[in-house]
Amino acid sequence: MPREDGKIKMENKIKVGILSFQGSVEEHKKILNTFNDVEPIEVKTFSSLNKVDGIILPGGESTTISKLLKIFNLSVPLKERIKSGMPVWGTCAGLILLAKNIEKETPHLALMDISVKRNAYGTQINSFVTTKKIDEVSKEKIPLVFIRAPWIESVESKVKILLEINGHIVAAKQKNMLATSFHPELTDNNEFHKYFINMIREYKNKNFF
């Protein structure tokens, strides 16, 4: 509930976690700070994980982030919270962490019914930017940044495909789990973050009543 001066009390803000071991943490934080009812929280410990209403798994290097999750004993509690319904959004490496199948590799959190191909677009020099309209997310076209990006080779029927480019799936959703091959945090467009924050808002309302 907004106060008379228009500010939102800290305890009423939506607490959006960013897994903060490695990768594009600051960039997500900067975009989350454009919403005055959101408080970004860096998650590196069990107690910080417990504070958040939803979590972003950022881009970076999926193998490194996965190792650090285990070293810091966060892998199991994070998996449990996601299974209990907490919204999660994996961008790029984060998408790889969520996948149940990774081509030629052992999966990490193994939660989402998607099969993923790492570095599917090639190396760093094959990184690219494009703009697309994603009906579920916004009315306008939004910029999409791909950096050594994976794509989703196939999904099971429980998964909703949000965007395909040239026959490859690059955004998908399964219940409380959102996954994108690209990096909305590296643009100045906050529509995708707005969409994820709404997923968290719905989850919070459902749990409250």
Task: Work out whether 119 is an interface residue with ligand GLN (CB under 6 A).
Answer: yes
The Cα–Cα gap between 107 and 194 comes to 29
Q: Which of 74, 86, 114, 147 binds ligand GLN (CB under 6 A)?
A: 147
- Residue with smaller CB distance to ligand GLN, 49 or 147: 147
Task: Work out whether 170 is an interface residue with ligand GLN (CB under 6 A).
Answer: no
Task: Work out whether 108 is an interface residue with ligand GLN (CB under 6 A).
Answer: no
Confirm if 29 and 67 have CB atoms less than 8 A apart: no
Q: DSSP strand E in the chain: where?
A: 14-19, 38-43, 54-57, 88-91, 99-102, 112-117, 128-133, 141-146, 151-155, 160-165, 168-174, 177-180
Q: With H, G, I as helix, E, B as strand and everything else as coil, classify residue 92.
A: coil
Q: Which of 108, 118, 173, 193 binds ligand GLN (CB under 6 A)?
A: 118
Q: How far is the CB of 59 from ligand GLN (least distance, A)?
A: 3
Q: What length does the chain have?
A: 209
Q: Is residue 105 flagged as an active site residue? A: no
Site for ligand GLN in 36-95 (CB under 6 A): 59-62, 92-93
Total residues contacting ligand GLN (rule CB under 6 A)?
A: 11
Type of residue numbered 10 = M
Binding site for ligand GLN (CB under 6 A): 59-62, 92-93, 96, 118-119, 147-148
